[in-house]
Amino acid sequence: MAEDVAENTAGLMSKPPASGADRVPFGSRPASIHFDVFTLFPEMFGGPLQASMLKRAQEMGSLSVALHDIREYANDKHHVTDEPPYGGGGGMVMKAEPVFCAVEAVLSGSEPGQDGEDSEPPVILLTPQGRLFSQEIARELAGQRRIALVCGRYEGVDERVRQHLATDELSIGDYVLTGGELAALVVIDAVTRLVPGVLGAPRAVVEDSHVDGLLEGPHYTRPRAFRGWEVPDILLSGDHGAVARWRREEALRRTFERRPELLGQARLTPQDREFLLRLLEEAQRGRSA
């Protein structure tokens, strides 16, 4: 059954990594990660998984994704996956049984082509009620070899999925999508780029927005002048120390202006704090002028 999905989505079905332990010691990341995605709409994954970095990561063996169609695990003749809610009210609720059957079959290794070695991967339900996905959570998840993602649909998912199957629930933001599929793709993307070797330049990961709690500052590339807009002189100075200081200050400035609430949690040096104090004084002077 999962193989059919693979054919329909141009070979995205793949096996979990054959080797080793399912948990990795803190601080070291495995060089590959496998996602089992449980969804009613596997066709939503084809495009994003077949382009750019996610495509490359799969070609390099750093990423594998197996799409499992929940409908295939509904036992009745019509493969029903949703029913009206008990107690009345509008909308439909995703049934527990097909979701349980799908996840249990795949994770227990009874699914053809699964080796069952990774016995307890996290089972993450994508839902607007989950904890808010962040760079920190992406970093945590990048330490796993295998992760199961369950995409909710309709108006909700039977509560027993949350209580007795999911080990975690994630939301990608305070808005409601039509289902968890796009959220699952966001998680796959953010986690995969942290797998060693996936990004060409490891420094880029260190300098990412949110890595040290700050937004990234501006970037420029050729030409030096575009429609009369010049690249800041400092970036052409060849003075690496001055460039690093400028970048840091621009990151601080951007965070201060756009997401000041992040500064409370950011890792700041005494020099950073001095700079922020200057920005604050400037802002206060601007307001009183």
Query: Which residues are designated catalytic?
Result: 128, 155, 193, 208
Token output for 174: 């305070």
- Please report the beta strands in 194-284, taking only residues with DSSP state E, as ranges in sequence order: 225-226, 229-230
CB of 171 to ligand ADE, least distance (A): 4
Closest CB to ligand ADE: residue number:
183
Residue 187 or 194 having the CB closest to ligand ADE: 187
Calpha distance 40→6 (Å, rounded):
14
CB of 8 to ligand ADE, least distance (A): 23
Within 10 angstroms of residue 279's Cβ, the number of other Cβ atoms is 16
Residue 94 or 252 having the CB closest to ligand ADE: 94
CB of 177 to ligand ADE, least distance (A): 4
Residue 183 or 198 having the CB closest to ligand ADE: 183
> Do 208 and 142 touch, CB atoms closer than 8 A?
no
Calpha distance 213→244 (Å, rounded):
17
CB of 130 to ligand ADE, least distance (A): 6
Residue type, 194: L
Bridge partners, 225 (sequence order)? 230
Best CA proximity match to 154, nearest among 185, 181, 132 = 181
CB of 143 to ligand ADE, least distance (A): 21
> Do 179 and 152 touch, CB atoms closer than 8 A?
yes
Residue 5 or 126 having the CB closest to ligand ADE: 126
Where along the sequence are the contacts to ligand ADE (CB under 6 A)? 126-128, 152, 171-173, 175-177, 179-180, 183
CA of 261: how far to CAs of 76, 91, 134, 214, 256, in Å? 51, 37, 15, 10, 8
Calpha distance 263→154 (Å, rounded):
38
Residue 54 or 94 having the CB closest to ligand ADE: 94
Report cis status (omega within 30 of 0) of the bond before 223.
yes
